[in-house]
Amino acid sequence: METLIEQAILDNYQNLYYLAFQYVKNQQDAMDIVQDSVYKAIKQHKKLKDREYVKSWLWKITRNTALDFLKNQHCHSASLETLTLTKEDHYLDIDLYQALDHLNETERTIVTLKYFDDFKIEQIADILNENINTIKSKLYRALKKMKIELDVEDQI
């Protein structure tokens, strides 16, 4: 599976970077997280049993690495669940910042995985280690917060 993972990394590292960036909000840390995650993914290639899961697997590793990073930092802001973006996060384009501003970490991750990284609900449930219904309801709530109305065909 090593070669498969390598290819998936080369195809997706930019999105993995964007994901890491959402968590740590600065370039250097985000790059460190991606480097670390990529290394782990190749080292632990034997843990990937089904090639179909390679993308989810990469995201899972990256997200967990980012979360570990934050835990280890002496950052005494509110718990991860209520972590919100602040106005000082100038990196984000205004619309994007505004849209994601009111979401908590999980909601933001779910929106990102679904609409930016193109994962399916089942895959998101696997990556976040939640059940499908939980993901659906959190996604629904996130979209409400973002004031996004979905057309009929895009319903969750």
Footprint of another protein on this chain (CB under 8 A)? 1-4, 6-7, 9-10, 13-15, 17-18, 21, 27, 31, 34-36, 38-43, 45-46, 91-93, 95-96, 99, 112, 115-116, 146, 148-151, 154
Q: Closest separation between CB of residue 5 and another protein, Å?
A: 9
Question: What is the distance between the alpha carbons of residues 30 and 36, in angstroms, rounded to a whole number?
Answer: 10
Q: Closest separation between CB of residue 41 and another protein, Å?
A: 8
Q: CA Rg, the chain, in Å?
A: 16
Q: Closest separation between CB of residue 56 and another protein, Å?
A: 17
| Between 13 and 130, CB nearer to another protein | 13
Is residue 141 within 8 Å of residue 107, measured between CB atoms?
yes
Is residue 18 within 8 Å of residue 96, measured between CB atoms?
no
